[in-house]
Structure 1
Amino acid sequence: MIAEHAQIAEILLVEDSEADVRLCGFALEEANLVHHLHVASDGDEAIDLLLGHSEHDVMPRPDLILLDLNLPKRPGYEVLSEIKNDPDLRIIPVVVMSTSTSRDDIVRAYELGANCYIPKPSNYDEFVEVVRLIKN
């Protein structure tokens, strides 16, 4: 899913759980994915980063967005909708990772333009496996 030509993958992780941020970071390292990981802890921060309005971080356009659905300030569905409705952002692959396995949630994510929906891994080994799948 990540472009082969990219030397260093720019990844935006939109996740409010510090534990999941750490797990994902370790999993990216374990999967030998050369990357810059940028983290937004809520939906508003994610949109600000993507639109270049962030006071704290400036990032190049990401090669991949890993998006949690249950976020403070702005839900993941709204973030996904805004990304996929923006002509400059819509081409960025978005992988939704959520604790929900509800068919309605999965269908809604795909209807809004998610490229992939993955039940959120619950441990380190599962995170590594998900990252390897995404990498390929």
Structure 2
Amino acid sequence: MPIHTIWLADDDADDCMLFGDAIAELGAGPSVVCVGNGVELMDKLQHVSHVPDVLFLDVNMPVKDGLTCLAEIKGDERFKDLPIVIWSTSAQPEAVRQAFELGARLFMKKPYNFNKLTSLLEGVLQLNLHAVVSQGDFLVGK
């Protein structure tokens, strides 16, 4: 299934900018919509006419964290099939376990290098995220 629209929920404006730049670097690809926190994300999802093809969700956000959003999204029948990639600076085993239990398709540790970010995102976009088993798929950026 081709990916046309990616949403990123991340409170770090620099990470949003780098993410968008990395997607743009890959060529004529999906459009990126960035939201700054979990409350904004949940509000936008409630009023969307077209569900994004994939959602990248930061774990550590103020107001409403990513794992809380993940649980709410997967509890809503309209979004049960939405592929969600957890995107975090930390890969604490408990957070990884919880993310997969809540229905994340992948867990991606944010790389600290633009080229590695671009490479990781290219790999994610080549996956069939609807076919990825949500137990144990883990991407690490070094």
| Bin for the TM-score computed over the shorter chain | 0.7 to 0.9
AA aligned opposite 1:11:
I
Distance 1:70 1:109 in 2: 12
Contact 1:96-1:118 at 8 Å conserved across structures: yes
| Offset of residue 36 of structure 1 | 1.9
Using structure 2 for the length normalisation, give the TM-score.
Answer: 0.84
Structure 2 counterpart of 1:108, one-letter code: Q
* Structure 1 residue aligned with 2:133: none
Query: Aligned partners of 1:101, 1:41: CA distance in 2, in Å?
Result: 21
Determine whether 1:15 maps to 2:10: yes
Once the two structures are TM-superposed, the CA of residue 60 in structure 1 deviates from its matched residue by 2.2
| Aligned counterpart, 2:95 | 105
- Alignment partners' CA distance in 2, 1:39 and 1:30: 17
Aligned to 1:84: 74
Q: SS state of the match for residue 121, structure 2?
A: helix
Partner of 2:78, secondary structure, is coil
Distance 2:14 2:79 in 1: 28
What is the CA-CA distance between 1:32 and the residue it aligns to?
2.2
Higher relative contact order (CA 8 A, sep 6+): 1
**TM-score of the superposed pair, with normalisation by structure 1:** 0.87
Distance 1:33 1:82, change over 3 A: farther
Deviations 1:48-80 (A, max 9, x none): 11111xxxxx56210000110001110101100
Contact between 1:49 and 1:59, CA under 8 Å: does it hold in 2?
A: no
Deviates more, 1:111-120 or 1:28-37: 28-37
| Structure 1 unmatched ranges of 5 or more | 53-57
Structure 1 segments (4+ residues) deviating >3 Å = none
| Percent identity over paired residues | 30
Any idea what SS the aligned residue of 2:108 has?
Answer: strand
Paired residue type of 1:133? G
Q: In 2, Cα distance between the equivalents of 1:33 and 1:27?
A: 12
- Structure 2 letter corresponding to 1:47: M
> Which residue of 29, 32, 40 corresponds with 1:37?
32
Determine helix, strand or coil for the equivalent of 2:5.
strand
Stretches of structure 2 that go unaligned for 5 or more consecutive residues are 127-142
What is the deviation of 1:34? 1.7
The alignment status of 1:124 with 2:119, answered yes or no, reads: no
Q: CA deviation at 1:38?
A: 1.0
Q: Do the aligned residues in 2 keep the contact of 1:33 with 1:135 (CA within 8 Å)?
A: no
